[in-house]
Amino acid sequence: MAAESVENLLQRARGCMEQRDWDRARQIYLQALGLRADSADVHYGLATVCFQLRDLNSAAHHFREVTRLDPLRAGAYINLGAVYNLLDEIDEAVTALRRGIQLDSHRAEGYYNLGLVYRRKNQPELALQAYREAIRVNPRMADAHYNLGNLYMEKSEPSLAIPHYKSALELRPSWEKALRGLESAQAAIQAAELAAAGADAAGPRKIAAAPQHSSLDPERLVDPNIHSSLLTAMHKSTVEADGSARQFMELLEAEIEPAIKELSTCLLYPEGSVNELDQCVQKFENAINRMRTVQRSLQTSVEKVRTNGDRMLKV
């Protein structure tokens, strides 16, 4: 009986891959490799199957063979870079991915994988550029939008993160990670707005210039016998406002900022348990509620200072 041709073996192996029968596909590819050890297509298929089986070292070996046998095949370099990244061979990953992009600059997955590698190299600006290129080539790459949102959150730029989280959700509705990222970015903006409002309330009040026809004497001295009760009230309200302002700023530093960072970490690295994320969300909500309470107290104290000041000017 004649031996089965390499072409028939490749066809059978691809059929097994469509059925996600990875073990059977590898057996057939190995049979084909015995007949044609110099076939780039056989090595490519075998590398793909080994990757699916999480045999990363074998996958890297066969993708390297493809690049040796077919040096212009961009996909082999891009896939090799992705495997190198998983094997923690970061510099090799960058080299392979750059070569793949050089051969074919229209493959969004090349830029996306390069973004993953730069992120691991702690080079966020280069990662941002890579993800932006991935979206330029393929605006419908939800993962690139999501990772861009995460990077902007790490850079404390939630306003830039929000559009990418929204794009990810438009492309992949009900994506839990993107939804939580969006909620985190919106909460960070809300916290910043509350902090700004509190700073404005605690800041010095601008008193409008008196009209020229005013009868107020600018050289008038405060008489303790006349103004004692007002002076006491003014001093008390000023002390209260100062205390509320200090409490507000301390709360921002001690609770709000740490809560935002913990929540962002849980959303960016969701490998932990759901309970841990729920605890981060609850901690953030509690901190926001306490900040609102302190803000109301601060606004009340500042209003007392203003009222007493107006009464002082009228006496």
- What are the pLDDT digits (tens) for 266-284? 655 555 544 576 777 777 7
| Cα of 163 vs its chain's centroid, Å | 12
Could you give the count of Cα atoms lying within 13 Å of 36 in the half-sphere of its Cβ? 21
pLDDT for the residue 203? 57
The SS3 of residue 155 is: coil
CA distance 117 to 111: 10
Q: What is the pLDDT of residues 237-257, one digit of tens each?
A: 666 766 766 776 676 667 776
Among the listed residues 267, 260, 265, 277, the one whose alpha carbon sits nearest the alpha carbon of residue 195 = 260
Cβ–Cβ under 8 Å, residues 291 and 194: yes
Q: Name the CATH superfamily, with its identifier, for domain 1-71.
A: Tetratricopeptide repeat domain (1.25.40.10)
Give the count of beta carbons closer than 10 Å to the beta carbon of residue 270. 15
CA distance 289 to 12: 62
Q: What is the pLDDT of residues 18-48, one digit of tens each?
A: 999 999 999 999 999 999 999 999 999 999 9
* pLDDT band, very low/low/confident/very high, at 214 (cuts 50, 70, 90): very low
Instruction: Flag whether the pTM goes above 0.75.
Output: no
Among the listed residues 151, 180, 208, 188, the one whose alpha carbon sits nearest the alpha carbon of residue 288 = 188
Locate the domains of the chain by residue range: 1-71, 187-201+223-314
Q: What is the pLDDT of residues 118-136, one digit of tens each?
A: 999 999 999 999 999 999 9
Residue written as tokens 């008489």?
A: 223
